[in-house]
Amino acid sequence: MSDFIRRVLVSGLAVAVLVCLIYFAFGAHFQYVVALLVALMSSIAVWEYEQFAKAKGGRMILPFLVGFVFVQTLSFFYAATYLGWPSGPVVVFFIGFLVLFALHFGEKEGAIVDLAVSSFGLLYIAVPMGMILGVLYMPGVDGRWWVTYLLVVTKITDVGAYCAGSLWGRRKLAPLISPKKTIEGAIFGLGCALAASFVFGWLSDFTGSFHLGALEWIVLGLLLGVVGQFGDLSESLLKRDANKKDSNTLPGLGGVLDMVDSILFNAPILYIYLQYIKL
């Protein structure tokens, strides 16, 4: 239980700090601080991912990849804040992809594996992290509410699943990749996601800049509750294959990739919903 309490306290503190950052995210200059912090987290996460790849014999051009992930993440911020550049993230990704290929032209063997490993890292980390900025600064909506919603619903799912699994879990969810996760925990985590989503739906009745209707909080709560746990299991799959317990050694957190694993899968859902579906 001491590990559980430490993780809950540290995770709660991290979420509180992030919510504070989000609250001031539209300050004249502070918005650049927020964007740079998210891009920095992306770069650290891709470095952690490179440790997984290296453990399995994969080779990545790390300096380029870290820099590219940083720029790719920021491209979503500029696409949202400078309305004349909505296709910016796609352009940046395409240019970076070309450069990535060019950097491997000197290789005679192993290029396929190296390119596959690097490209997956970009799609897995840089694009979803950039979408968090895309949601936060998306024109026409109060992104502060939506990113807070994303963080709270996702993290309360993780905490609920961990807590219920530790107390009542009997049936293993995915024993080969994550022996401690249980079906009971996953169901309880999903219930927590729906409960948190309902609270945000109720709060939206009292705000003028954030609206979450009944159908929205149900559907989004279900999606985030299920897909977020899928993201958690997916990172566990990578760690298990690389024989790593955590992505890093930050006390109570593990690593940046451990902190954002479920968010990486949930951020695209919210980004796509707000950008293309919500009226």
Q: Are 234 and 247 in contact (CB under 8 A)?
A: no
3 exposed, middle or buried (CB, 10 Å; 0-12, 13-18, 19+)? Answer: exposed
Q: Write down the pLDDT at residue 144.
A: 92
What are the C-alpha distances in Å from 264 to residues 131, 165, 230, 260?
Answer: 9, 23, 10, 6
Which pLDDT belongs to residue 104? Answer: 86
**What is the token pair recorded at 30?**
């502070």
> What pLDDT sits at residue 253?
57
Report how far apart, in Å, the C-alpha atoms of 226 and of each of 18, 161, 183, 191 are: 23, 11, 12, 10
Q: Are 225 and 192 in contact (CB under 8 A)?
A: yes
What pLDDT is attached to residue 166?
82
278's tokens: 């919500």
pLDDT for 133 equals: 94
Report residues of the chain scoring pLDDT below 70.
1-8, 10-12, 14-15, 83-84, 108, 246-254, 279
Task: Give pLDDT tens digits for 63-108.
Answer: 999 999 999 999 999 999 886 677 889 999 999 999 999 998 887 6
